[in-house]
Amino acid sequence: MDHVQQHFRPPDREGMRTALQNFLEACGIDTDHTDFARTATRVTETWCAEFLAGFGEDPAVLLKDVVVGEQPPQLVIVAGLRFHSMCPHHLVPYRGLATVGYLPGAKLAPFGRLSAIVDCFTKRLTLQERATVAIAEAIRNHLGSRGSGCVMEAEQLCLALPGEKHNESRVISSHFTGELAERHELQGRFFRQ
């Protein structure tokens, strides 16, 4: 269980729905109108599935089904993993692509497990920078790799929405652990994906 999970309890769906209904009404919206009659329920379900579900995932469990490799490859990289998340500061979404990889020890992770780790840390209210670090650290800690890395590139709507000045901006964050933190020639492979 990671540090953030320790401070998370399962969502109160009815409380969320009521709060959203009250919020819409405070915005001056007629929630009896056809367009808004089920908005609070829809938003509650979307948030629980897409922006809170990662809090209930345990990275140690996600990486427990590993393959023991006889001769592990020098580097494993999975690129183009789509993700979305929600900025905790402004409650606006961001989305992008993640590249994750590791220098295997005795264990190899199925590729789908690496994708699940990205989902685990992005289907949360979290900063992109924090998710990047958490993904790389989880792979290193729970897979026993010699080093791991994560590069995330995302469109941050909190940066793009306040006007058209930054509407094409992209934010790139990276974190490398173990041997990958020292091997810059291998780090470059993450950025070329």
User: Which pLDDT belongs to residue 6?
Assistant: 61
Cα 181 from Cα 171, distance rounded (Å): 21
Query: How far apart are the two ends of the chain, measured CA to CA in Å?
Result: 30
* pTM across the whole model: 0.88
Residues whose CB falls within 8 Å of the CB of residue 103, separated by 6 or more in sequence, listed in order: 74, 75, 76, 145, 146, 147, 148, 178, 179, 180, 186
Question: Are the beta carbons of 29 and 36 closer than 8 angstroms?
Answer: yes
Split into its structural domains, the chain has a count of: 2
In a shared domain, residues 159 and 119:
yes
In a shared domain, residues 43 and 61:
no
In a shared domain, residues 164 and 72:
yes
- Give the tens place of pLDDT for each residue, 113-158: 999 999 999 999 999 999 999 999 999 999 999 999 999 999 988 7
Under-50 pLDDT residues of the chain = none
User: Which pLDDT belongs to residue 4?
Assistant: 56
| Strands 76-86 vs 93-103: parallel, antiparallel or unpaired | antiparallel
CATH code for the domain of 182:
3.30.1130.10
| Buried-state track 149-159, b at ≥16 Cβ within 10 A, e below 16 | bbbbbbbbbeb
User: Which pLDDT belongs to residue 38?
Assistant: 94
Domain with 13, as residue range(s), is: 5-50
User: Which pLDDT belongs to residue 12?
Assistant: 95
Please, which residues bridge with residue 84 across strands?
Answer: 95
Residues whose CB falls within 8 Å of the CB of residue 99, separated by 6 or more in sequence, listed in order: 77, 78, 79, 80, 81, 149, 150, 151, 152, 190, 193
In a shared domain, residues 116 and 181:
yes
